[in-house]
Amino acid sequence: MFHVYGWLIAIGVLVVQFLLSRRTNVYWGAILPVLYVVFIIIWLPERFGKEITFSVILAAVGGLVFLLGMWINGREYLKKKRKKELEKMELHDIE
């Protein structure tokens, strides 16, 4: 049952990151990656102690890369959307 909750939490985090990364203010998309880094810094030593393995570190870094990748994609989406809106406005100005 815990695995189901884990997946639901992960999907929820990704949905929230998807929505925050597309906001006008760039800092909204940085909230979850920063919270993730703080969580990993606090949680990894508490959970694994001195037995932190390469695979655990790789998974932690992979999660951060995934969140940052979503943030970057959201910023690019916003730029494309603004560009389309400007082109649409210019088209109406020409007519």
* Domain count for the chain: 1
Residue 79 has pLDDT above 90, yes or no: yes
Residue 42 has pLDDT above 90, yes or no: no
pLDDT band at 95 (very low <50, low <70, confident <90, very high): low
Estimate to the nearest angstrom the gap between the alpha carbon of 59 and the chain centroid: 15
Distances from the Cα of 23 to the Cα of 8, 17, 63, 75, angstroms: 23, 10, 21, 8
Q: Return the axis-axis angle of helices 2-20 and 54-94, rounded to nearest 10°.
A: 40
* pLDDT score, position 72: 94
Burial class (CB in 10 A: 0-12, 13-18, 19+), 30: middle
Domain that holds residue 59: 2-94
* pLDDT score, position 53: 81
Asked if 56 contacts 44 with a C-beta cutoff of 8 angstroms, the reply is yes
